[in-house]
Amino acid sequence: MPSVVLKPGHVQPVWSGHPWVYAQAVDRVEGGALAGEEVSVLDPRGNLLGRGFYSPRSAIPVRILVRDATTVIGAEFIRDRLKRARDQRRELGLPNEKTTGYRLVHSEGDRLPGLVVDIFDDVAVVQMTTIGMKRREALIIDSLCDLVKVKTVIDRTPETYSKSEGFDAGSGVIRGDDKLDRLCFRERDVLYEIPLTVAQKTGFYFDQRPLRARVEQLSRGRRVLDTYSFVGSFAIAASRGGATQVMAVDENALALEVAARCALLNNVSERIAWERGPARDALVRAGNKGGYDLVIVDPPNLAPSTKATQKGLAAYQKLATVACPATRPGGLLVISACSAALGLGALTRAIALGARDVGMVVTVLERMFQGADHPVPAAFQEGLYLKSLICRVDTR
């Protein structure tokens, strides 16, 4: 079997259980490894650290699948890992009558690095982000259709991943109903219908399920501003929770149309107003008018890589300078970051500095993370990418 030999001084993370082998850690590749082929990862003395699929064009040329020398990484292996993921979701109570949309496979979190699978009722949306997984696509899809009884499978692998790995981006429906044009599912008894032309990433942000539930609990009797609303999931949660008024803001007109439709489907549209425009402008206006009781700020990824960490923190500090005044004194600010590059401590400090810049202070009441269907290996803290702070905002 071809092997990837690590440099001295780069063994400890992999030995400790981290699943990634970075390109700068590789000393040499022996045995003529081909893209997508199984390789062994060795320390400088030739000791086995693990095995995985080879991605020669990637900054992460190997993602560890197994740590031993004997496990056969074939069709049975993939099926077994998928079955484990399915069984773990069942232990979490997913799916159920009220929730038919959830994450089935969370890459490293389910020991299937390079594979993400989201379930939307009887539709599976997949992302294969490594050449090794892509070359085993048929095995994966066959097992999915058998284990979770989906009728349609859609490939939405983004070009940002596929290009760096050397294959084409997701091509849409790869099995089942090729006329499918929308994703229909329930979450906590909220019905969503999201056209594929509007859906982002795999189609929906299932990772924010716990925060949506918490927002619903916190909204009773409050005036709520939901920025970066997209398809209105937080706005709907707030209205369901008894908010007296909800303003939902997004720059995407089509997303707002979908959001309004979903609110109507769930009989919560009466208390929600929809506004197209930049979140920052809405926050500034809210601050000028005395603020809302509850403000939700869930922007897109502001630090997509470690190189962008400082830029991302600066962006959050700047965002806090308008989000804090948009929250009335004594009110609640909910702010999220979906970036592995932003640590919880650094994010909290950025928000505190932004509040200070405008003469306000934030007190963190709760910290929340991605849902349990997005598991995080203890040795892989990069997997803890989603952080949310629920804060009380006061004047100094």
Of 64, 26, 35, the C-alpha closest to 166 is 35
Q: Alpha-carbon torsion 370, 63, 69, 48, what sign?
A: negative
Helix axes 344-357, 309-323, angle to 10 degrees: 40
Cβ proximity of 194 and 231 under 8 Å: yes
The predicted pLDDT at position 171 comes to 86
308's tokens:
């962008």
**Residue 81 to residue 29: CA distance in whole angstroms:** 27
Cβ proximity of 239 and 271 under 8 Å: yes
- Helices in the chain by DSSP H: which ranges? 12-15, 75-91, 131-134, 137-147, 159-165, 209-218, 233-240, 253-265, 279-288, 309-323, 344-357
Other CB atoms within 10 A of residue 365 CB: 13
Q: How far, in whole angstroms, is CA 85 from its chain's centroid?
A: 17
**Residue 232 to residue 71: CA distance in whole angstroms:** 45
**DSSP string of 196-223?**
TTT--TTSS-GGGHHHHHHHHHH-TT-E
**Residue 223 to residue 225: CA distance in whole angstroms:** 7
Q: Which CA distances in Å does 128 have to 84, 253, 340, 341?
A: 18, 30, 19, 22
Q: pLDDT 10s per residue in the chain (396 long)?
A: 999 999 999 999 999 999 999 999 999 999 999 999 999 999 999 999 999 999 999 999 999 999 999 999 999 999 999 999 999 999 999 999 999 999 999 999 999 999 999 999 999 999 999 999 999 999 999 999 999 999 999 999 999 889 989 999 998 999 999 999 999 999 999 999 999 999 888 999 999 999 999 999 999 999 999 999 999 999 999 999 999 999 999 999 999 999 999 999 999 999 999 999 999 999 999 999 999 999 999 999 999 999 999 999 999 999 999 999 999 999 999 999 999 999 999 999 999 999 999 999 999 999 999 999 999 999 999 999 999 999 999 998
Of 113, 132, 127, the C-alpha closest to 65 is 113
pTM exceeds cut of 0.85: yes
Q: Among all chains, which residue has been given the structure tokens 């983004």? A: 158
**Residue 281 to residue 274: CA distance in whole angstroms:** 14
SS3 of residue 37 by DSSP: coil
All domains in the chain, ordered by first residue: 3-66 (2.30.130.10), 75-182 (3.30.750.80), 205-395 (3.40.50.150)
**Residue 21 to residue 13: CA distance in whole angstroms:** 9
Q: Among all chains, which residue has been given the structure tokens 């040329």? A: 61
The predicted pLDDT at position 382 comes to 94
